[in-house]
Amino acid sequence: MIVCSAVLFASVSNSRREGNLPSDSSASSATRPRATRLLIVPTAQPQISAALILAILKHAAQNPESICQPSVEERSKHPVIIPRKIFFELATTNDATLRDFLAGTEAPRSFLEVADDTLNIDLDSPADYALATERFVRKKRDWSEPADQRTL
């Protein structure tokens, strides 16, 4: 079984807000959000920026049936976004690592090429983690600027 930190995000239908309940749903199930994707962000990689997460979320919205992740020089990186129908496969896999699962799945994959050298940092020791933390803090995005002036 693969162990990692993850965040679920959801997609909610507008039908409840418009007063139309689907015929096969109860009122209680129509008001609950239904997770549509699994976002896997390793907590031991502080160099993964909010801007990168936003970019890969936008990429996943354009590729809803695919496993989506950034790549640097054609090498896949974190974070990984897995569609709902595939994350049930992940939950029951016998693969030892997420990398093994991704290599063996027949699900479509979509990569967003990014120019972010911090994703190439290997975090094999406490010193590696300290270096990544230092570099991340220096590159930290100033989210106080207006949203229309932010760039990814």
Q: Compute the distance between CA of residue 30 and CA of residue 88 in angstroms, rounded to an integer.
A: 21
pLDDT digits (tens, 9 = 90+) for 70-80: 999 999 999 99
Q: Compute the distance between CA of residue 141 and CA of residue 98 in angstroms, rounded to an integer.
A: 28
CB atoms within 10 A of CB 103: 10
Determine whether domain 6-11+32-140 maps to CATH 3.90.550.10.
Answer: yes
Q: Compute the distance between CA of residue 3 and CA of residue 22 in angstroms, rounded to an integer.
A: 36
- Sorted by where each begins, the domain ranges of the chain are 6-11+32-140
What is the residue type of 65? E
pLDDT digits (tens, 9 = 90+) for 91-112: 888 998 888 999 999 999 999 9
